C-alpha cells in the first residue's frame, strides 16, 4: 500500500532523484522552474511505499497574478516508473487539489499534458490572458478554479511569489529571479 504524506526534509534526496529520472537532466531549464527556483513550496506531498521508499511527488507553489488572489502553480508531478498506471498520480492530484481548496486557495495553474489534467477540471481557456516568464506551449498552459470566477479577471505575467528557501538562499549565487529580487530590495 502506498501512503500519501506531507513531504518532509528527509524526502529531498529521493525526490530530486525521482524528478531527474522522470524529467531528465534539463528539467531545471523549463519555464515553470523560473517560478519555483529558490522558493519554498506552499504545499508538498510525497507518496511512500511499504518499504518507506518515495515513489511519487507533487508540489504546489505560490504565484502572483494581476487580477487574481491566492493562486498556486502545480508541479512537478512525478511517479516512479514501476508505480505508473496504478492511479498514484491521480491520488496525488486529488490530495493536492483538496488540500489547496481547504486551505482557501482560489485557483491552480500548471504547464502539463492537457489530456491528463483535463480530467481534474483543468482548462487552457482559463490561462489565455496570462503569460509565463519564458516559452510555453499554450495548449499545455492550464488553469483550474477552486473558487468560482477566480481567474476571470486574471491577466498579465505570472510572477514568482512566496518565501525563499533559507537553505538554497545561502547556497545559490545571485542569479535568476532570486538574485533580481535581492538586488531590487
CA nearest neighbour of 125 among 101, 148, 145: 145
Q: What is the pTM assigned to this prediction?
A: 0.89
Architecture category of domain 3-184 in CATH: 3-Layer(aba) Sandwich (3.40)
For residue 175, the model assigns a pLDDT of 46
The 10s digit of each residue's pLDDT in 139-166 is 999 999 999 999 999 999 999 999 998 8
- Predicted pLDDT at 108: 98
Q: Is the pLDDT of residue 93 over 70?
A: yes
Q: Is the pLDDT of residue 170 over 70?
A: no
Neighbours of 5 (CB within 10 A): 13
SS3 percent helix, strand, coil of the chain, rounded to 5, is: 40, 30, 30
Mean of all residue pLDDT scores within the chain: 91
pLDDT single digits (tens) 4-42: 999 999 999 999 999 999 998 889 889 999 999 999 999
Q: Where are the domains of the chain?
A: 3-184
Does residue 29 or residue 107 have the better pLDDT?
A: 107
Amino acid at each position: 500500500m502506498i501512503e500519501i504524506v506531507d513531504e518532509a526534509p528527509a524526502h529531498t534526496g529521493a525526490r530530486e532523484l525521482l524528478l531527474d529520472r522522470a524529467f531528465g537532466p534539463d528539467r531545471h531549464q523549463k519555464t515553470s522552474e523560473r517560478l519555483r527556483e529558490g522558493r519554498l513550496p506552499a504545499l508538498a506531498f510525497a507518496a511512500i511505499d511499504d518499504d518507506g521508499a518515495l515513489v511519487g511527488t507533487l508540489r504546489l507553489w505560490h504565484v502572483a497574478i494581476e487580477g487574481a488572489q491566492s493562486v498556486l502553480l502545480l508541479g512537478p508531478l512525478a511517479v516512479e516508473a514501476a508505480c505508473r498506471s496504478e492511479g498514484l498520480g491521480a491520488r496525488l492530484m486529488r490530495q493536492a487539489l483538496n488540500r489547496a481548496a481547504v486551505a482557501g486557495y482560489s485557483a491552480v495553474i500548471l504547464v502539463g499534458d492537457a489530456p491528463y489534467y483535463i480530467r481534474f477540471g483543468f482548462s487552457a481557456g482559463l490561462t489565455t490572458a496570462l503569460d509565463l516568464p519564458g516559452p510555453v506551449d499554450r495548449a499545455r498552459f492550464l488553469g483550474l478554479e477552486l473558487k468560482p470566477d477566480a481567474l476571470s479577471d486574471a491577466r498579465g505575467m505570472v510572477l514568482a511569489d512566496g518565501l525563499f528557501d533559507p537553505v538554497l538562499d545561502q547556497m545559490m549565487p545571485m542569479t535568476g529571479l532570486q538574485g533580481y529580487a535581492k538586488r531590487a530590495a
